[in-house]
Amino acid sequence: MKTDVFISGGGISGLMLGYSLARNGIDVLVVEKEAKSSIKYKGELLQPKSLEMMDRIELYDDVRKHGFPIHTTGITELSGDQVMKHITYRYSVVDHPFNAALMIPHETLKELIRQKAEQYEHFQYMQPAKFTGFKETGAIKKTAVVVGREREEVHVSADFFIGAEGRSSPIRNILGIELKETEYNHYFLTVTFPRPEYLTEGEMVVRDHYFLGLFPLPDLKVRTVLLIKKDEYKQMKRDGLESFYRCYTSLKPELDGYVQKVKSWKDIQLMIPTRHNADRYVGGNCALMGDAVHTVHPMAGEGMNLAIQDAYTLGELLSCMYETDNLEPGQLKLYEQVRKPRAEHLSKLSHTSALAYSYWQKPWRVIRAHVLKRIERVHTLHYKQMLNVSGLGIWKDTWVDRFVQIGLLPGFVLPKVKGQERLYTENDDHPWKKEEEE
Ligand SMILES: Cc1cc2nc3c(=O)[nH]c(=O)nc-3n(C[C@H](O)[C@H](O)[C@H](O)COP(=O)(O)OP(=O)(O)OC[C@H]3O[C@@H](n4cnc5c(N)ncnc54)[C@H](O)[C@@H]3O)c2cc1C
């Protein structure tokens, strides 16, 4: 069998790249090993940068119809039953047409992209079909081996081979790409259930070591994540669902009557946060995307967005290579040059947010609440925070920022934000297009 681009993995990044190439007239085959998804919950929060990229490739209008917009995220730090601090972060501090996030069920999003892709004859999808290796051992690969539904072997020749297989990526292993891995001292429980009507923005409630995140979905549902200590899960299960309900209602009493709609532990998914980063994304005529090259702590809601943005960038680059008839594999490095620094920056940001909630002593919680409030109040800090989280640009924290955050320096020592500062431009997103024009 012959195609232009072979994609191993029909997760969010594989489908997005498949769609993006097929709409540009490039033959693409996506293979997905699972007959159906075994995991109930994955990323559901689309950050503004992902939405902007989806808009550029005519996906946004359909996605928006099935999503629920999030303009703000509130953080309530409790001390006992008292509110110690309430903080609100607003996407709108960044002056950009995409100044809100969007919640959409993960499988709905995948289905939507697959249906859009299938409108193009250049798109082929095999499921279940598992990539098992290459026929050659050299740097340039020509034929992928895929095992199909009836255990039959299919040999697929292609110009490029993309690993979009998530954490356990076989293509990454074949390329011998190393991962640096970090573990955390906590787990998350995650589940979706009906929500009260008034809950229309992102909310986080924090007390002692508990952290409850609430993100509204369409159809009056809410996706929730609860941070627990590692050793707490088994005890909670032994104590029964009542202990789970109690955690939720003690943090957010308004959820009484809603969280009880969760009727079985089977509906609650355990999420073990990890962080890993690959030292390279490309080898010969192969490239890797999404969780295959980076997983991030879920605290900042970035994992799925990194995967989507990788797919967009690689899709634009490959399309340009086919359009200009330049299929030199070395060109793939341009994808790594755009994506690796951005992914590493957001990985660090997610890691820092995770550390903020990894210590539970009172003085630490007081300092954390104080710092979060300073970020909300000092416009430049608020802007930087939301610019970075939204993915619309990059503006790294400095030592002066740190001093302002803890209140050792006043906010006015920071540079004033002038208009749409530090946003990524189209040139930043696809620098090869500029070279083409020149
Ligand atoms: C429980 C959970 C909650 C999460 N919550 C968030 C969140 O709130 N926000 C956020 O942004 N991110 C979140 N994430 C992370 C986000 O879902 C991932 O970063 C994103 O799904 C990565 O997409 P991907 O396409 O790289 O990989 P995946 O979604 O893992 O897809 C990889 C696909 O490849 C297939 N595959 C694997 N091996 C092969 C093979 N050999 N042949 C063929 N197919 C293969 C797999 O079956 C899978 O379908 C969460 C993840 C989990 C697990």
pLDDT digits (tens, 9 = 90+) for 107-134: 999 999 999 999 999 999 999 999 999 9
The pLDDT tens digits for 1-19 are 999 999 999 999 999 999 9
Whether residues 192 and 48 fall in one domain: no
The alpha carbon dihedral of 39, 41, 47, 50 has a sign of positive
The stretch 236-260 carries a mean pLDDT of 96
Look at residue 370 and tell me if it is in a domain: no
The stretch 336-342 carries a mean pLDDT of 98
User: What pLDDT is recorded for position 180?
Assistant: 84
pLDDT at 40 over 90: no
The rounded Å distance from CA 389 to ligand 1 centre is: 20
Whether residues 33 and 165 fall in one domain: yes
216: nearest Cα among 63, 102, 98: 102
- The domain boundary, picked from 271, 287, 304, lies at 271
pLDDT at 399 over 90: yes
Whether residues 265 and 194 fall in one domain: yes
> Which atom in ligand 1 lies closest to the alpha carbon of residue 34?
47
The rounded Å distance from CA 155 to ligand 1 centre is: 25
Residue to probe by mutation, ligand 1, list 291, 313, 389, most atoms within 8 Å of CB? 291
Whether residues 123 and 139 fall in one domain: yes
Atom 6, ligand 1: residue with shortest CA distance: 43
User: What pLDDT is recorded for position 437?
Assistant: 65
Atom 21, ligand 1: residue with shortest CA distance: 304
Look at residue 154 and tell me if it is in a domain: yes
Look at residue 362 and tell me if it is in a domain: no
Atom 31, ligand 1: residue with shortest CA distance: 11
Whether residues 173 and 295 fall in one domain: yes
CB atoms within 10 A of CB 138: 8
The stretch 57-64 carries a mean pLDDT of 98
Residue to probe by mutation, ligand 1, list 46, 145, 165, most atoms within 8 Å of CB? 165
Instruction: CATH number of the domain at 11, please.
Output: 3.50.50.60
Whether residues 57 and 138 fall in one domain: yes
CB atoms within 10 A of CB 221: 18
At residue 435 the predicted structure's pLDDT band, cuts being 50, 70 and 90, is low
> Which atom in ligand 1 lies closest to the alpha carbon of residue 16?
25
For the chain, the domain total comes to: 2
Whether residues 214 and 251 fall in one domain: yes
Look at residue 32 and tell me if it is in a domain: yes
Instruction: CATH number of the domain at 212, please.
Output: 3.30.9
User: What pLDDT is recorded for position 388?
Assistant: 97
pLDDT at 188 over 80: yes
* Selected residue with higher pLDDT from 73 and 359: 73
> What integer best gives the mean pLDDT of the chain?
95
**Does pTM top 0.85 for this prediction?**
yes
- The domain boundary, picked from 316, 348, 380, lies at 348
The stretch 392-400 carries a mean pLDDT of 96
Whether residues 153 and 220 fall in one domain: no
Range of the domain at 238: 185-271
The stretch 361-377 carries a mean pLDDT of 94
Whether residues 198 and 213 fall in one domain: yes
User: What pLDDT is recorded for position 164?
Assistant: 98
Q: How far apart are CA 29 and CA 156, in angstroms?
A: 9
Look at residue 149 and tell me if it is in a domain: yes
Whether residues 41 and 190 fall in one domain: no
At residue 418 the predicted structure's pLDDT band, cuts being 50, 70 and 90, is confident
* Selected residue with higher pLDDT from 289 and 137: 289
What's the N-to-C CA distance of the chain in angstroms?
A: 38
Residue to probe by mutation, ligand 1, list 34, 304, 312, 389, most atoms within 8 Å of CB? 304
The rounded Å distance from CA 250 to ligand 1 centre is: 32
Whether residues 201 and 234 fall in one domain: yes
Share of the chain above pLDDT 70, in %: 99
Look at residue 166 and tell me if it is in a domain: yes
Residue to probe by mutation, ligand 1, list 42, 49, 103, 125, most atoms within 8 Å of CB? 42
The pLDDT tens digits for 379-388 are 999 999 999 9
Which residues surround ligand 1 with Cβ inside 6 Å?
8-14, 31-34, 39, 41-45, 130-131, 164-166, 170, 190, 269, 271, 290-292, 298, 301-305, 307
Atom 2, ligand 1: residue with shortest CA distance: 42
Q: How far apart are CA 316 and CA 436, in angstroms?
A: 13
The rounded Å distance from CA 194 to ligand 1 centre is: 25
pLDDT at 331 over 90: yes
- The domain boundary, picked from 348, 373, 389, lies at 348
At residue 258 the predicted structure's pLDDT band, cuts being 50, 70 and 90, is very high
User: What pLDDT is recorded for position 152?
Assistant: 94
Atom 13, ligand 1: residue with shortest CA distance: 43
